[in-house]
Structure 1
Amino acid sequence: MKRELLFFKPIARKTVWGGTTVKEYFHYPDMEDGVGQAWAFADQPGGLSNECLTPSLSGMTLHEIWDNYPEVFNSRYEKFPFIISLVGPEDDLSIQLHPDTASAKHYGFNSGKDEAWYFLEASNSSLIYGHHAENQASLVERLQHRDFDGLFRRIPAHKDDFVYLPAGIIHALGKNNVVYEIQQATDLTWRIYDYERVDNEGQHRELHLSQALDVLNHVTDESIAQAISRVVANEHTGDGYTFNTYRTESVFSVARLRCHGQGNISKEGYWLCTVTEGSGIFNGERISCGDNFIVSAECQSMTFSGDFIVMITTETR
């Protein structure tokens, strides 16, 4: 199993802002319409744990592999620490934020929820990051009075943007984006505003203003500039590939491997990999867009060839 790639079946998640983007972009023809995101890697309550497709472990869940084959991960965590999601909204997501560790523990979770986005596609689209209130007191007052007009800071989105979203930051993903999303495994979101939408039963989704006010962080122009990267980050170039790592201050590390020929690369720890473009060969196995696979922590060097892009998440070391 040392060099074997462990492929996993994505978990489809239907949403009020979903459609057909995810299944079309990532080549998941069996997915229903209305899916807004697919969890590439997750181990959440209610049996939401990805199924392994690799013959040697076929049918085992990520949860079972985590428990029975710890050498694959060599992790410092007791539970699988991330949710990796492939997101294709056809309507704007709710304006929201995520809890810090203290707040999350109050609700029975082990950690807060930092998040990051890498924009695979962005067509006349945007994101919300922060607000235009003069200070924290003004922000709280406007939120309490539901004075949302012109409050949230909307920023144009571009292909290859990387956005880091620490807990407590007001944010929202706009429609017409395709995003590779990294989250800590605390599946907890505080909605502030949801455009007065209703679900299939005609009900408004729950808002969580009081909880949000407890963890709300004020942002400055400087902090926004630091959080949104529109330049190639920490680039390393080798024969047949470029490798970029992206800045976060969280427990996860994010990278992009772009192969344009053939090459080899070394690593530490396990890699959670999603092919977001093209196809090729990786450690002797064929990969193509939409594939999600783990490279074991035991495998310290990889060989590859082809023309593809792989997004990679691993634990910060």
Structure 2
Amino acid sequence: MELLFLEPVFKEAIWGGTRLKEAFGYDIPSDTTGECWAISAHENGECRVAGGPYDGRSLSSLWKENKSLFGGYPGDKFPLLVKIIDAKEDLSIQVHPDDAYAGLHENGSFGKTECWYILDCAPAAEIVIGHHAKDREEMEAMVRDGRWKEFVRTQSIKKGDFFQIEPGCVHAIKGGTLILETQQSSDITYRLYDYDRLSDGKPRQLHTEQSIAVIKAPFEEDKTTPERTEEEGAVRTHLVTCQFYSVDKYEIEGLFAKKFQKYFTNVSVISGSGLVNGIPLKAGQHFIIPADSGECRFEGTMTIICSNPE
């Protein structure tokens, strides 16, 4: 079974920059490029296969017409979306709905559970994750009164940190941060506060009522603890397993051979270079290992992040 290499899709944003070009050599559309949708079958930014027997095919068409590539994973939509996000400036403070709320209020969309691997960040960088309200009543009052400094919880970060972001968790990536995000295939974001910024001379839309409806209060800190184990040719760090995905990092040195699980596996090369099944690999490449691919052979010095649907 041939690996499915994908052409990324780029998204511009008022908070974006040029790191996607500098770090990975991508041909980005402008100096305010915020996102690389690296593995996506979402209609708002769909990847196509680059090379091989499926060259030029959209990922959603493969999902519909070649289900055996994905091990017969259930559902009519490809379930995951992998992005690299370049936050030159702060992103808005935001929150995502779960499947139940999104299904009811967003035309049957998936909700958005996501996780972040910090690829790089500025010294003394931080993220917004969570809030300080003691209950839903206080949360709503703080939001309606715009008491953002009192409400928002921040946390310092460093390269290599990992965060699981559940629906209902207030969050924001702050400036100077480059992350790899694995998420449900959803583009639903409720913007809570945007620092009164203007885009084309107007404030960006806020989603105050939806945000209040879905924010969980009080905030419960995620207790996910990455687990490191040594395998022949690689150090594996299991980052998270939740109901939607499982994510692992492999730091490969030399030859690393592995047979992945029964469903498909998304792979992002985040640093280094080498080969996979004899095909040259470099940082910034993304591909899918189809189901029933047998053993994959990686050779070289590189770090990859892999995700599987659960």
- TM over 0.5: same fold? yes
Match in the other structure for 1:243: 236
User: 2:260 corresponds to which letter in structure 1?
Assistant: K
1:121 aligns with 2:120: yes
Percent identity (aligned): 27
**Letter aligned with residue 87 of structure 1:** I
Letter matched to residue 281 of structure 1: L
Match for residue 247 of structure 2 among 246, 250, 254: 254
Partner of 2:189: 189
Task: Answer yes or no: is the 8 Å Cα contact 2:93–2:191 preserved in 1.
Answer: yes
**TM-score after normalising by structure 2:** 0.94
| Residue matched to 2:34 | 36
Q: Matched residues in 2 for 1:104 and 1:225: separation?
A: 22
Matched residue, 2:297: 303
- Which residue is 2:275 aligned to? 281
Q: Name structure 2 gaps, 5 residues minimum.
A: none
What does residue 65 of structure 2 align with? 68
Counterpart pick for 1:224 among 209, 221, 226: 221
Q: Is the 8 A contact 2:266 2:288 kept in 1?
A: yes
In the aligned structure 1, how far is the partner of 2:259 from the partner of 2:304? 15
Q: Distance in 1 between matches of 2:217 and 2:190?
A: 16
- Residue 305 of structure 1: SS of its match in structure 2? strand
Quote the offset at 1:225 in angstroms. Answer: 5.1
Partner of 1:177: 177
**1: CA distance between counterparts of 2:19 and 2:218?**
32
Secondary structure of the residue aligned to 1:247 is strand
Q: d(CA) in 2 for partners of 1:146 and 1:286?
A: 51
Question: Cα gap change, 1:123/1:170 in structure 2, threshold over 3 Å: closer, same or farther?
Answer: same
Aligned counterparts of 1:68 and 1:283: Cα–Cα separation in 2: 26
Report the number of matched residues: 306
How far, CA to CA, are the matches of 1:98 and 1:57 in structure 2?
34
Contact 2:10 2:28 in 1 (8 A): no
Deviation per CA, 1:40-69: give whole Å up to 9, x if none: 0112225x3101112321111111211222
When the two structures are superposed, what TM-score results if normalisation uses the length of structure 1? Answer: 0.92
Secondary structure of residue in 1 paired with 2:134:
coil
Q: Distance in 1 between matches of 2:250 and 2:12?
A: 29
Given that residues 41 and 47 in structure 2 are in contact (C-alpha distance below 8 angstroms), is that contact kept between their aligned partners in structure 1?
Answer: yes
Cα deviation for residue 219 of structure 1 reads 4.1
4+ aligned runs moved over 6 Å, structure 1: none
How well do the aligned residues superpose, as a CA RMSD in angstroms? 1.5
Q: Secondary structure at the match of 1:43?
A: coil
Structure 1: 5+ residue stretches without partners: none
The 10-residue stretch of structure 1 (135-144 or 83-92) with the greater mean CA deviation from structure 2: 135-144
